[in-house]
Amino acid sequence: MIRRTCTLLAVLALAASAAAQPNPVLKEKFQRRVAQLIENLDGVAGVAIKDLRTGDEFLFNADEVFPQASVIKIPVLITLFEEVHRGEIKLDETVALTKKQIVGGSGVLQELDDYRAKLSIYDLAVLMITLSDNTATNILIGRVTMDSVNALMQRLGLQQTVLQRKMMDTDAAKAGRENLSTPREMMKLMEILYRSEQLSKDVCSEVLRMLRKPKRGNLRAGIPADVPLANKTGGLFRIRNEVGLVEFEPNPYVIVVETKLLAREDDGARLIQEISKAAFSYFQRTGTANALGRSFVR
């Protein structure tokens, strides 16, 4: 009787251990699917996906350096909230908008009739993230400084993540001063926010709350509307990027898709959508099935 009980406990322990790991066959199929999507792209793509439950990583050209476009606004946002946390900036501090500050590209501040409007630092942060407003971003970069953004990224161990110019500064870009990072480093940055590591819990929670605000993007195409998504998009000519934390319980994950040298502008958006669909399908099944592969959540 004792031997039978010990055997049963051993079986249950083995099953519990196996339940924590995704099925290797399904995992391999997911890897092949993402690799196929990247191979079919007429351009260059890098992908970094991390299972925040098991620690599994799916990396494809993850150390390739990509121009970040508006994705670089995430490090700017983190630096802003870090300085707010230290008491160096107040979110209700107001900034008087001037005509000289207005730049083109994405955003709404360039459409204002009266450039003498006053906006709070918080309002500027909302505009930077939800509408990717370039004028708001440049004002915030001026407030926190490029050096502070880069110093913080270095402290977090992100050696390739650098802010070298303001938005719409094409002369700086042509001179080689581009805003850069890699899929692996952006994945690490989102994991830092998720786990509240290396930054205070307050900073991480405020940044994620801002990134959860509804906005345009392609990752959402593969994720149900009721699953929280903290994300930021970025786009330039022949470049499409998106970074996201998918807060799907019980299997949250980080997903980063970055592209460059695209033959067709729409190809990058389609790639992000297809990889997002494949990723959610994979994490939904691995997160809701038992050790034997039976799912209990529809």
Tens digit of pLDDT for each residue in 273-294? 999 999 999 999 998 877 778 8
pTM of the entire structure?
0.91
Domain annotation covers residue 5: no
Which has the higher per-residue pLDDT, 184 or 176? 184
The answer on pLDDT for 8 being more than 50 is: no
Identify the pLDDT of residue 115.
65
Q: What is the CATH number of the domain that holds 181?
A: 3.40.710.10
Record the tokens describing residue 81, joined without a space: 């909230």
Q: Which residue has the higher pLDDT, 6 or 262?
A: 262
Q: Is residue 17 part of a domain?
A: no
Better-scored residue on pLDDT, 12 or 78: 78
Position 88 in a domain: yes
In a domain, 232, yes or no: yes
Mean pLDDT for the chain? 91
Residue 34 in any domain: the answer is yes
Kindly state the average pLDDT of the residues 236-251.
Answer: 96
User: For the chain, how many structural domains are there in total?
Assistant: 1
Beta strand extents in the chain (DSSP E only): 44-51, 57-60, 66-67, 94-96, 118-120, 180-181, 229-236, 239-246, 253-260
As a whole number of Å, the CA-based R_g of the chain is: 21
Q: Is the model's pLDDT at 152 over the cut of 90?
A: yes
Residue 70, phi then psi, degrees to nearest 5: -80, -5
244 located within any domain: yes
Angle between helices 134-144 and 146-155 (to 10 degrees): 80
What is residue 11's predicted lDDT score, i.e. its pLDDT? Answer: 39
* pLDDT computed for residue 287 by the predictor: 85
Residues 6 or more apart from 17 whose CB is under 8 A from it? 291
Share of the chain above pLDDT 70, in %: 92
Alpha carbon 249 to chain centroid distance? 18
Residue at 4 is within a domain:
no
> Token digits for 93?
């501090």
Give the mean model confidence (pLDDT) for residues 78-107.
93
Q: Picking from 24-28, 99-103, 181-185, which range would have the lowest pLDDT averaged per residue?
A: 99-103
102-106, 116-120, 164-168, range with greatest mean pLDDT: 164-168
Structure tokens at 41: 């792209």
- Is position 35 within any domain? yes
Q: What is the dihedral of CA 86, 90, 95, 100, to 10 degrees?
A: 20
Q: Tell me which residue range forms the domain holding 165.
A: 23-288
Say yes or no to pLDDT of 2 above 90. no
User: Higher pLDDT residue, 280 or 170?
Assistant: 280
Instruction: Look at the alpha carbons of 62, 67, 70, 76 in this order and tell me if their dihedral is positive or negative.
Output: positive
| Cα(98)–Cα(189) distance, integer angstroms | 33
